[in-house]
Amino acid sequence: MNSKRLVCLLALAALAAGVALAQGSMLINGAGATFPYPIYSKWFDEYHKNTGVQINYQSVGSGAGIKQLLSGTVDFGASDKPMSDKQLADSKVKILHFPTVMGAVVPTYNIPGVSTELNFTPEALAGIFLGRITKWNDPAIAGVNKGVSLPGNDIVVVHRADGSGTTFIWTDYLSKVSDDWKTKVGADTSVNWPVGLGGKGNEGVAGQVKQQPNSIGYVELIYALQNNMSFGKVKNAAGVFVKADFAGVSAAAAGAAKTMPDDFRVSITNAPGKTSYPLSSFTWLLIPAQVSDAAKRDALKGFLKWMLVDGQNYAEPLSYARLPKEVVQEELKAISSIQ
């Protein structure tokens, strides 16, 4: 009995010590988009190494990020869909949008026996996700992929099960290129999908596509790259089939950079230009304009500054596009409006 008591006390003491030791550093909590999660996790890791500030980011999807921010249960949110006017009006505190990087959404597929890059027209993508095009060797797909032998298997569509900014980018693009899509489904973070399986987060969709033969899904570029998954070229507004990379994304953002509104909310899908990648988008950090805790406020502002200057260097190795110079300048000015 005595030795048992001693062991218990020692264990408690060790635990208490461990807890106390971890007490020192500051912890900031954020949640939101899975689209930029690879680079955010890299940033927060590097920032922690540099400054000791711990920013705990949970990739739960843009929808959840916005919700948690509005409930006040996290210190900041992140989304690939800018908050709507209604959401901003409903919010008890003013929310500021800070673009962080630009990324690309790619149509990724898993067709046994097909390892070449496929070309996708906007009509093909809309048809597949509307459930109209059901087989891989459909003329709409085969027509622009001459020389590739596509099987007659059924297409398994994979989409997001959760509220997603990536979904918004995908459906925003489809609404712009297909009137049918616009009327039947529309563009939002969560839509009534006509067909398909649901996956949670970019991670979930990538996981499903990777395991499910004959499937197609939409994910952020880095998820396809990091998991060695095939993804196709998409025909842009100028009629060119473009493969996603940060150059194509930067081209897409070129026009918008010059006309960026003050609140930084803008869509760059289906952008003009020969080299533009049509499924490009900014992604934003959602920061409350008023942060009462001074230490947290300074930490957030410090991170934003670091992100806009040093952080941008991490973008291209992870296939995200750096922010245009003009946007960076505007944002640096906007940081001061966080009180």
Binding of residue 313 to other proteins (CB under 8 A) = no
Closest to other proteins by CB, 11 or 238: 11
β-strand 27-32 against 233-235: which pairing, if any? unpaired
Of 144-152, 191-199, 230-238, 304-312, which segment contacts other proteins by CB under 8 A?
Answer: 191-199
Binding of residue 71 to other proteins (CB under 8 A) = yes
Q: Which of 227, 264, 297, 330 binds other proteins (CB under 8 A)?
A: 227
Binding of residue 191 to other proteins (CB under 8 A) = yes
Say how many C-beta atoms besides its own lie within 10 A of residue 69's C-beta.
Answer: 26
Name residues contacting other proteins, limited to 138-167 (CB under 8 A): 154, 156, 161-163
Binding of residue 80 to other proteins (CB under 8 A) = no
Task: Give 66-128 as a DSSP string.
Answer: HHHHHHTSSSEEEESSPPPHHHHHH-SS-EEEEEEEEEEEEEEEE-TT--SPPEE-HHHHHHH
Binding of residue 121 to other proteins (CB under 8 A) = no
| Residue that the structure tokens 């890299």 belong to | 42
Binding of residue 201 to other proteins (CB under 8 A) = yes
Q: Is 328 exposed, middle or buried (0-12, 13-18, 19+ CB in 10 A)?
A: middle
β-strand 156-160 against 197-199: which pairing, if any? parallel
Binding of residue 47 to other proteins (CB under 8 A) = no
- Across the beta sheet with 119-120, the strand order is 119-120, 233-235, 241-242
Q: Is 19 exposed, middle or buried (0-12, 13-18, 19+ CB in 10 A)?
A: exposed
- Provide the minimum distance between the beta carbon of 292 and other proteins in the complex, in angstroms, as a whole number: 11
Q: Could you list the residues that contact other proteins (CB under 8 A)?
A: 15, 18-19, 22-25, 27, 29, 31, 37-38, 41-42, 44-45, 48, 54, 56-61, 63-68, 70-74, 87, 154, 156, 161-163, 186, 188, 190-193, 196-201, 203-204, 206-207, 210-212, 222-223, 226-227, 229, 318
